[in-house]
Amino acid sequence: MSPCQIIVNADDLGISYQVNEAIFNLMTKGRVTSATMLANGPQVAEAAARIREFPRCSFGVHLNLSEFKPLTMDSALAPILNEAGEFNSNRIREIHVGPRLREAIFHEWCAQIARLRTLGVELSHIDSHHHVHTIPSLFPVLKRVQRVSDIRRVRLSRNIYGACAKSSSLLLLKKRLWNFAVRHFYSTATTARMTNLKVFLEMAGRMQAAGQTIEVMVHPGGPLSLNETELLRGRWLEQLPFKVQLISYWELTDLPGRR
């Protein structure tokens, strides 16, 4: 029986010294196989300088519309900025996204990708800070960014939930449609499933995981993730009820419609 292939992806690389150190420490121990980088994060240059130490790991872009200052100066971004000129938390989900703002977001995301490439990062895949790339109104922007940047691997919208999670059938349908679309509009490789570490461990005993690819999203070193960071350092992999192979995003190669 084929093992379950798991990508353990650490978000927020470049956000702080503490997060960088936690992620790289876990990569050294073989507990994290991938990370996504905040191009406008305060410590992104320091992070980029170290990624060559981890040739077996993948490094993607953590597209951002919710924290720190944008890399572009387009006035059309104003509706999602605060008084300090920084991205204003969850504002992008609270407003109507019209054509002018979508165009500004496209150029900002392209600038974030260009910034990481200038720092020497070979980008494996796309995800986003606070999952903004899964906002339905931004789907055309995501696909346009993929085409321009030639990045053909993208994180799914989460599709593994805990036993007590309250998810409506309508929400689950929307997620299935989004995940189908992200794979098939501009052929894109994804894992089959995605969730966070806590839910993954909760549901592992109930899952048919053999032969599947699963992304486990983690946030090592973050102030709200102390328990998760300690768990990652432990023996959780050895305690799973099925065989596991850890992989990076570079090992996802199955593109819909390109067989």
Chain CA centroid to CA 18, Å = 19
For 186, the 3-state DSSP assignment is coil
pLDDT one digit per residue (tens) for the chain, 259 residues: 689 999 999 999 999 999 999 999 999 999 999 999 999 999 999 999 999 999 999 999 999 999 999 999 899 999 999 999 999 999 999 999 999 999 999 999 999 999 999 999 999 999 999 999 999 999 999 999 999 999 999 999 999 888 777 778 888 889 999 999 999 999 999 999 999 999 999 999 888 887 899 999 999 998 888 899 999 999 999 989 999 999 999 999 877 654 3
Closest by CA to 252, choosing from 3, 1, 17, 7, is 7
pTM: 0.94
pLDDT score for 259: 35
Alpha helices in the chain (DSSP H): 17-28, 44-48, 99-118, 139-149, 169-184, 197-203, 226-233
Domain architecture of the chain: domains with CATH: 4-251 (3.20.20.370)
What is the amino acid identity at position 119?
A: L
Output the pLDDT for position 220. Answer: 96
How far CA 206 is from CA of 165, 175, 222, in Å, comes to: 15, 21, 29
* pLDDT given for residue 257 in this prediction: 52
| Tokens 């328990």 belong to residue | 227
Alpha-carbon dihedral 193, 135, 128, 99, rounded to 10 degrees? 140
C-alpha separations of 199 from 12, 26, 59 in Å: 20, 20, 23
